[in-house]
Structure 1
Amino acid sequence: MDEERIAIVTGASSGIGRATAARFARRGLRVVAAARRKDALDQLVAEAAGGPGTIVPVAADMTTPRAAGKLLEAAEREWGPAAVAVLAAGRGLPGTILGSDPLRWAEIIEVNYLSMLEQLRAFGSDFRQRETAAARDIVVIGSTAGRQVSAANPVYGSTKFAVHSLVEALRQEVCGDGVRVTLIEPGFVRSGFQDAAGYDMQWFAAVTEESGPLLVPDDVAATVEFVVDRPAHVHLDDIRLRPTRQRI
């Protein structure tokens, strides 16, 4: 990986986003880490202190107008133009079509789909304008739920199906400009995601028993690192990773 590149990571307060920001910093990258929880970002910065890289925290809600543009501006103020964006902010929603809370449908569509559309537009527009031979990467954290229809988790899954199509569409739009747009689809990951979204933790314990050991956030972060570490002419554009024992 070119350690001179500047990265932006959203959803960096926990889970995959946090693990990715930490891994980048250990490699010596300069990272703008964005999330809503400033206290969690401050802890991330403290843990990275003294390492080869640098993390600048930005408290941001990615559903607010121009959130992605402000992160690009923050990177440029600190160091220069960003060349890597990892979009890991997202939210889950338990329940079936008949059983999920309809009052939360609009929220999850805004967070997982509309916000992602805004981010893809902002980062894609910025990166394609940079005249450089170096790699420029947009990496989106999707889900195997966005490929495998599940009656048990359809509202969340449908937002991921939609995002997956956006990622491929943007890839086709900007690949001629040397921008790599990559989708990573993790299966079950042991993190705070399920608890924060309100999933039944007894169900998750059963999943862990059947499919574990589950992935951990750093497993996915290592995959992100591998993707952006490829030479500029090589693009791994769609990767699924699951726990070995996960059936679907």
Structure 2
Amino acid sequence: MTEGRIAVVTGASSGIGRAVTRHLARRGVHVVAAGRNAERLAELAEPAGESGELGESGAPGDGPGRIVPFAGDITAPGHTEELLAAAEREWGPADIFVASAGLGLPGTVLGSDPSRWEELVQANYLAVLRQLRACAAEFVKQAEADGGARVRDLVVIGSTVGRQVSAANPVYGSTKFAVHSLVEALRQEVCTHNIRVTLVEPGFVRSGFQAAAGYDAAWFEAIAEENGPLLTPEDVADVIGFAIGRPKHVHLDDIRLRPTRQRA
């Protein structure tokens, strides 16, 4: 149910987005890999060497799943439309979109850095809202043209702290609560077109996300000691691959995954 499909993945420079890009390419999906770090994106698109072993893209150089990098700022208005247009120029209209780009912010309501609140809301809420609107509009247009003959998947990376209030991380968590509401509302709006809008809510994932957001390394290692082994980005990618590979009439619309030993 995935080979030959066309995808756009945001946040592909690192972490979950990068793992999703590699996973989809292995499964024969052509991917526009979007992110801010052009060098890291270019590494994803490198073909396999002469040995024939898999390159970092996870797909042989002459395999069916190709990766095209697209560097840019997902918070910029119109960027989602540019990504969809890039996919169509390369292969045809995209039928998978994975919204993985986002920022973290440590601290409580009183203890977090207020100078970073606006950037967080721009990246984690407004940019996601723009992605949802632009992608859903394009998918509805496609579905009206073909009568919904094909399934189309829009996947959003949420978080368990968007489901369960955390006094330790509420500003970041509040953006995820807001996005979760948008995802379910959009699912209800477009499901009759055979468009599946899926929320994936990971718990603790060990990736570069924590360092980039400025979370305390000692705190995170204590979390890992108590709750580990933690999830990897590849674990999340596997779940997404499973969800979008279901038959057209089956929709896993809200998926929470945690390390087995994570309580909250």
TM-score (norm 1): 0.98
**1:52 counterpart residue number:** 64
Distance 1:86 1:54 in 2: 16
Task: Report the counterpart of residue 87 of structure 2 in structure 1.
Answer: 75
- Paired residue for 2:225? 209
2:249 to 227, 233, 247: 233
Specify which of 90, 101, 104 is matched with residue 113 of structure 2: 101
**Structure 1, unpaired ranges of 5+:** none
State the distance in 2 between where 1:53 and 1:126 align: 22
Please tell me the residue identity of whatever aligns with 1:196.
A
The AA in structure 2 aligned to 1:143 is: S
How far has the Cα of 1:2 moved from its partner?
A: 3.2
Taking every aligned residue pair, what percent have the same amino acid on both sides?
Answer: 66
Within the alignment, does 1:43 sit opposite 2:43 as a pair?
A: yes
CA RMSD of aligned residues (A): 0.8
In the TM superposition, 1:78-89 aligns within 5 A as 78-89=90-101
Q: Which residue of 2 aligns with 1:160?
A: 176
| Distance of 2:131 and 2:64 partners within structure 1 | 28
Matches of 1:139 and 1:154 in 2, distance apart? 23
> 2:13 and 2:141 mapped to 1: Cα distance?
29
> If the length of structure 2 is used for normalisation, what is the TM-score?
0.93
Match of 2:126 in 1: 114
Which residue type is aligned with residue 52 of structure 1? P
Q: Output the amino acid matched with 1:165.
A: S
Inter-partner Cα distance in structure 2 for 1:199 and 1:52: 39
2:3 aligned with 1:3: yes
Q: Is the 8 A contact 2:162 2:176 kept in 1?
A: yes
Give runs of ≥4 in structure 1 deviating > 3 Å.
none
* Offset of residue 86 of structure 1: 0.4
Name the SS for the 2:76 alignment partner. Answer: coil
* Contact persistence 1:189–1:215 (CA under 8 A): yes
Amino acid at match of 1:64: A
Structure 2 gaps, min length 5? 47-55
Residues 128 and 178 in structure 1, CA contact (< 8 A), matched pair in contact too: no
